[in-house]
């Protein structure tokens, strides 16, 4: 038994490889991230937008207006615009194109939509920016009321 390692005497143990504090017990690659959540959310605030619309605005709109808004919200790209034609919206909500035209006009008038680009048969689909609440309802929280 000449080449075998000897037991370490009490009090002469080497220090632990990791610190016993809670923060250092997590491997470095996992520090700073919440477990189970990605570091960068791909959806951004999309669900906050649709939740605000459904909670505060949808009840005041007609069926065609609410469905038109929802479809445009769903079609919104990361740049914030939704590009689609009136005929495509009408087909998807099961309505007449003239009904969808009236719904878009009402949404623009009520400040739920902004028309960025007016399309046509030759120029392609229109482009819109959707808003969950009209601007008149959006009040800044950093200013006291009455200013």
Show me where the domains of the chain are located: 61-130
Task: Quote the pLDDT of residue 143.
Answer: 46
Task: Quote the pLDDT of residue 10.
Answer: 84
Please tell me the distance from the alpha carbon of residue 53 to that of residue 59, in angstroms, as a whole number.
Answer: 9
Cβ atoms of 112 and 131 within 8 Å: the answer is yes
pLDDT band for position 112 (50/70/90)? very high
The answer to whether residue 65 scores a pLDDT higher than 80 is yes
**Residue 145 main-chain phi, psi, to 5 deg:** -65, 150
Q: What pTM does this model have?
A: 0.64
Please tell me the distance from the alpha carbon of residue 58 to that of residue 70, in angstroms, as a whole number.
Answer: 9
Please list, residue by residue across 8-40, b when 16 or more beta carbons sit within 10 angstroms of its beta carbon and e when fewer do.
eeeeeeeeeeeeeeeeeeeeeeeeeeeeeeeee
The answer to whether residue 79 scores a pLDDT higher than 60 is yes
Query: What does the mean pLDDT of the chain come to?
Result: 81
Q: Which option is the CATH number for 61-130: 3.30.420.10, 1.10.10.10, 1.10.3720.10, 2.40.50.140?
A: 1.10.10.10
The answer to whether residue 63 scores a pLDDT higher than 80 is yes
The answer to whether residue 30 scores a pLDDT higher than 60 is no
The answer to whether residue 1 scores a pLDDT higher than 80 is no
């Amino acid at each position: 038994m000449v080449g075998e390692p000897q037991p370490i005497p009490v009090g002469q143990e080497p220090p632990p490889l990791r610190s016993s504090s809670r923060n250092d017990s997590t491997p470095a690659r996992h520090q700073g991230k919440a477990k189970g959540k990605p570091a960068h959310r791909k959806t951004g605030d999309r669900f906050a937008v649709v939740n605000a619309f459904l909670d505060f605005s949808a009840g005041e709109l007609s069926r065609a207006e609410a469905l038109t808004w929802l479809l445009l919200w769903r079609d919104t790209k990361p740049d914030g615009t939704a590009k689609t034609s009136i005929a495509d919206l009408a087909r998807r909500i099961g309505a007449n194109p003239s009904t969808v035209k009236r719904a878009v006009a009402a949404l623009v008038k009520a400040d739920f939509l902004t028309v960025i680009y007016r399309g046509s048969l030759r120029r392609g689909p229109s482009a819109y920016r959707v808003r969950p609440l009209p601007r008149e309802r959006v009040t800044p929280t950093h200013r006291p009321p009455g200013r």
